[in-house]
Structure formats: structure tokens, C-alpha cells
Amino acid sequence: MKNVFYLWLLLACSSCNYFSAQKVSSTDILNEELKTFTWDEVDEYPVFLTCDSSATKAERKTCFQQTLIQHMSEYLHANTIEVKQEVSDTIFIHFKIYENGKPEITQADIDTLTMAQIPEIEQFVLDGIATLPRIYPAIKRGQPVTSVFTLPLIIKVKEN
């Protein structure tokens, strides 16, 4: 009987660990959540008012790209550009769309020969981005976020 009592006491003391609750710190929870977080993708791309909000993610992305390209093409075609020799170049415009929907150019990669032929090209691009229609920002986990884009613009101007 004495041995049974000691055996029961030993089991009772060792089984207490099974009933204790493990505390998980908020830092551990945050670190686990951050591991599952994909930072370079958004849940919803930025959209213009003309894009259908009920469309799929891919369709909204395509609509955003097409609207952006169409606007910039129309804006550049509306300006008279005169050159001394033919220009055929691709310039890269790096820009952000902030969480409030405002676009801002962060960098413009323009060849020096193109700048020499069309000194106002950078201002045309700045004005084109500034005159974009209202943009609704990208969404990540239900929150508006800043997104970064690179827009390649093909410039072809024939000499007069």
C-alpha cells in the first residue's frame, strides 16, 4: 500500500506539467505572422476609377497598366517635340503610389543623348504622372499601402 501511495504521488507530481498553460509572447506571435507575410505582393493593385472593381485581381492589374500607358502616351503625343536628329530610346520611370493615392516619380532613367535632343522630356514625364486620373492605392491585408512601379516608355521621334 505504501508503494502504491508513492507511485500515485510520483504520477501526480509529474503530470502537473500537462495541465499548465504555455504562455506565448506577443513578439513570438508577431514573428510567426511575419514569416507568412509576403512583402513584395499586394492583395489588390492600385486602380483607377475607370477600372471595374468587381473584376479579378489580374484584370484590375491589366486595367491599371493599360490606363497608365494610355494616359502617358496621350500626354506625350499632345506635346510638340522637335528634334535635330531622330530619337529612338526607352526611358524608365520609377515611381511610387502612396497610400493616399498620390503618385510621385522617384527616378527617371533617361539617356544623355535623349536629354540633349529633348531637354524637356523629363518635365513632360513629370507633368504626365502629375495629371493622372484619381488612383486608389494598393491594398495589403485590408490597409492601403505604398507601391512602387517602373514604367518603360519608348520614345520615337522623327526629325523634321
Parse the chain into domains and list their residue ranges: 47-157
How far is residue 88's CA from residue 91's CA, in Å, rounded to a whole number?
10
Percent of the chain scoring above 90 in pLDDT: 21
Percent of the chain scoring above 70 in pLDDT: 80
Query: Per-residue confidence at 148, pLDDT binned at 50, 70, 90?
Result: very high
Angle between helices 57-78 and 121-130 (to 10 degrees): 130
How far is residue 159's CA from residue 85's CA, in Å, rounded to a whole number?
5
Asked whether 71 and 135 are in contact (CB, 8 A), the reply is: no
pTM comes to 0.70
Q: What is the mean pLDDT of residues 25-35?
A: 72
